[in-house]
Structure 1
Amino acid sequence: MRIFRPLRYKNYALFGSSDFIASIGQFVREIALYWLAYEMTGSAMALGILGLCEATPRLALSVVGGVIVDRYDRLPLLTAIQFLCAVPVFAMVALYFIGVLQFWHMVVLETLLSIIRSMNPTAGQSLLRDLVPEEDLMSAVALYSLGFNSARIIGPSLGGVLMLWINVGGCFIFYGVTLLFSGFELLLVRLVNTAKPSAGSNWLREVKEGLSYIGGAPLVLSSTLAAYALSTFVGTYQRFLPVFAKDILNVGPDGLGALMAASGVGAVLSLVFLDAAGKRWRRETLLWFSAKATPLLLILFCVSRNLWLSVLLMGLLGAAQILFRTVSRLIIQVEAPRELLGRVISVFLMDQGLRSVGSLIMGAFATIFGAPVGLSLCSVLSIVLTTATFYRFLGKPTGRGNLTA
């Protein structure tokens, strides 16, 4: 399969396994952290505070991080981030095992970790173009998404098991070790032709330069704005699955597990589809299709009252969501100049910070109108915004063509 071709290149194989292992550790730690916070405080608000500590630095520092990524060599920067992230992680380990860890410690250390990690996605994705030749870039982006989404499935499950075996502190140690392993693995990457760091001295001018490019590139701009709309209004639908499982479909934890698993399986299968269809369909067409299919499938899921139909729709929804993410990332990788890539990616990745805002909006709609109607209304808003964006900047999709053209 084409999707695995980038693994032929040693540099990509090292980078990919480094990111995959660290991502698994991240999700293991996340489930342990939230479990400990709730056990310590008994407050759902505490979980929201930790989520805010994680999301706010990513949203506030994203563009600044993009400037830093474009200013300095990306590989050493990414390597340093892994080692620096291990510092607050092992600080929390020490406080936990000494027996003095309090919730305010968790807030401070989570904020510090998030500040350090705010550049990690931008640095990692900006590096992809230097790891594989142009003809394998689509497969590299798809495989990168596959690795992260596989970690998103494996990590929480592994975290639950590890909490039983080695307790919460052991999960924190596990994440710290994966960060160190990731950093040492990146030290083995050897790049020859890399993007030349920008030599500018005016940070504000460099930010404006990146924003000016995005504003003048219709395909990049529409991809970014559509990502903002989808992340805000449908991006966190998984958080509401317990409501559908218990109150709408009348099933227990096994039914909820089936819904969650279906979303993950669909995400993986969408990348197989992209691998097969990428040479026959235009990027704009796949972007249109996936951006519209995601909210439409969520509406159908909200209407369904049958478990297995809901499982099928959840699988298709997961597929459409990840298809959009992968195609939009590929568009930016192909379209953006190397010297601006960090800044362009950082603006695009602000959509991940908007997920926290979107979670509040979707939660408010679900509280006022009920989960099925509330999430359906959010989906309609997403459709309206993405449709307006595409017609304004791209016009109508033209159908077949080459995804990498």
Structure 2
Amino acid sequence: MSRNFLILISIQATAAFFAVVTSFTISASLFHATGSAMVMALTVFFQVAPRIYLSFFGGLIVDRIDVLRTIRLSNWTEAAISIGTVVGLLAGAPITLIFWTFIVGKALVASVKSVALQASVKHLVDEGDYRRASGLTTGVQNFAVAAGPFAGLALFSYVGEEHLWLVFAMDTLVFLAAGLAVAGINGAETERALARLRFRDLRVGLAHIKQRPQLRLLVGFFAAQNFFNGICAGLIPFLLLSLQDGRPGYFAITNSAMSVAAVAGAFLAASLSLPKRQMVTIAGATLLAAIAGRLVVGLDHLPWLIATGLAFRSLILPFGSVVNQAIWLSDTPRQIVGRVLGTRRALAQGTYPIAVLIGGILAGPVVASNLNEVLFLFILCGMGEILSAGYLYWRSFRKDRIESVIADST
């Protein structure tokens, strides 16, 4: 596998670690300041909405500008956003406004940077290694962020709410260093697919998907899955913090357990070398197992049971994600990979931010008095995921034969 690619994901894993630190700090601070389920849901919404809905433009930028240059400039932009947050905290601006501005700024950068990181596999890795590279990327990043919640807990406890600016000052230094490190990767300039930036080129990604029924099926399936996942995702931070009366320790432990499980799942998925039809079958089986993890979370508000369900789900999900990524990379020309992946994200994940808000609205009136009704939402979402997974299985094996677009080496 490409040495430049391994260096790149190592650099970004370090940056991802500190991104989790700041995210944990923000969640804990806002919960202490407001105690509102809707505020927590809005926080998740602001984290994901710009990144998803602007992925169209992110893909266009990635195809116009060199991939490594895009990642380098993104890191430096994130450092600038952190500097602004430090200034706002020191000036005594409202904490909710400061953190939401920080989150939206980071999400805008992520709409470009995340597509560039996915496209780097196509540019820097041989086709036979797509699945391994995708699994390795997921595994390394999750390994880096596994310790993020504990580091965030330690920093939050040490600096206190009066000196939160120190956390974001450290975030500034991390992303400045990450940008410099990416600039130091030599001999890995990737080709530019577009001579100039034209908005009409956005249609290329959509046209590529429309011409392929297998890809349309995947987009529809993940749109449904992300809707049900979004309803629950907006509630998880509030639920975990509520179970321990606002103390962030359990929140940190559960998040780290989820990350460690995701590391194991990603590396295991990347290590498998099976015929493509067997890989698709395994991906389908693990998807059903992940749905079972969702249902376990909804059984009771016992902390250990919720942590077990979330960690098990995190262990299983990488199998489907790795196979899905390999399908898209195998069936997409290098010249348009940024626009196709950006379009895929906007379409397949576009339901997620809306669902996050729906979850916050549904939970708001009841969460203060009865967590069981919130947990029941997890059961309903799990049932919805089962229905969409059954439809995917029927279409992929009985009609569209989705495995036909995967490279034989996958």
TM-score, structure 1 normalization? 0.82
Shift of 1:280: 4.2
Q: Deviations over 1:281-308 (max 9, x none)?
A: 5343234233333223322443479877
Q: Deviations over 1:302-347 (max 9, x none)?
A: 3479877766554432222222222212222222111121112112
- The equivalent of 2:326 in structure 1 is 330
Shift of 1:237: 4.1
- The equivalent of 1:163 in structure 2 is 156
- The equivalent of 1:404 in structure 2 is 409
Shift of 1:364: 5.8
The 1:364–1:43 alpha-carbon spacing in structure 2 relative to 1, beyond 3 Å, is: closer
- The equivalent of 2:220 in structure 1 is 225
**Which secondary structure state, in structure 2, belongs to the residue aligned with residue 404 of structure 1?**
coil
2:229 to 227, 234, 255: 234
- The equivalent of 1:180 in structure 2 is 176
Q: Deviations over 1:76-114 (max 9, x none)?
A: 122111111211210111232344565434434433332
- The equivalent of 1:207 in structure 2 is 202
- The equivalent of 1:374 in structure 2 is 377
CA–CA distance in 1 between the matches of 2:49 and 2:302? 38
Q: Gaps spanning 5+ residues in structure 2: where? A: none
The 1:210–1:267 alpha-carbon spacing in structure 2 relative to 1, beyond 3 Å, is: same
Would you say the 8 A contact 1:141–1:326 is kept in 2?
yes
**Which secondary structure state, in structure 1, belongs to the residue aligned with residue 298 of structure 2?**
helix
- Is 1:31 matched up with 2:24? yes
Would you say the 8 A contact 2:223–2:350 is kept in 1?
no
- The equivalent of 1:358 in structure 2 is 355
CA–CA distance in 2 between the matches of 1:322 and 1:309? 21
- The equivalent of 2:3 in structure 1 is 10
The 1:382–1:56 alpha-carbon spacing in structure 2 relative to 1, beyond 3 Å, is: same
Residue type at the aligned position of 2:272: A
Count residues in correspondence. Answer: 394
The 1:147–1:354 alpha-carbon spacing in structure 2 relative to 1, beyond 3 Å, is: farther
**Which secondary structure state, in structure 1, belongs to the residue aligned with residue 185 of structure 2?**
coil
Q: Deviations over 1:179-225 (max 9, x none)?
A: 11110111012345734322366423x22221111122233333333
The 1:280–1:316 alpha-carbon spacing in structure 2 relative to 1, beyond 3 Å, is: farther
- The equivalent of 2:281 in structure 1 is 285
- Is 1:94 matched up with 2:87? yes
Would you say the 8 A contact 2:293–2:313 is kept in 1?
yes
Would you say the 8 A contact 2:67–2:120 is kept in 1?
yes
Q: Percent identity?
A: 20
- The equivalent of 1:145 in structure 2 is 138
Would you say the 8 A contact 2:45–2:356 is kept in 1?
no
- The equivalent of 1:3 in structure 2 is none
- The equivalent of 2:268 in structure 1 is 273
Would you say the 8 A contact 1:242–1:256 is kept in 2?
no
Q: Gaps spanning 5+ residues in structure 1: where? A: 1-5
Residue type at the aligned position of 2:355: G
CA–CA distance in 1 between the matches of 2:238 and 2:72? 38
Would you say the 8 A contact 1:285–1:399 is kept in 2?
no
1:85 to 73, 78, 94: 78
- The equivalent of 1:341 in structure 2 is 337
- Is 1:65 matched up with 2:68? no
CA–CA distance in 2 between the matches of 1:45 and 1:242? 9
CA–CA distance in 2 between the matches of 1:61 and 1:246? 33
Would you say the 8 A contact 2:150–2:256 is kept in 1?
no
CA–CA distance in 1 between the matches of 2:186 and 2:29? 40
Shift of 1:258: 6.3
- The equivalent of 1:391 in structure 2 is 394
Greater mean deviation of Cα atoms: 91-100 or 12-21: 91-100
CA–CA distance in 1 between the matches of 2:204 and 2:137? 28
1:135 to 119, 128, 145: 128
The 1:142–1:403 alpha-carbon spacing in structure 2 relative to 1, beyond 3 Å, is: farther
Would you say the 8 A contact 1:12–1:131 is kept in 2?
yes
CA–CA distance in 2 between the matches of 1:54 and 1:313? 24
- The equivalent of 1:320 in structure 2 is 316
CA–CA distance in 1 between the matches of 2:250 and 2:97? 36
Q: Deviations over 1:372-403 (max 9, x none)?
A: 43222212212222332443455377999977
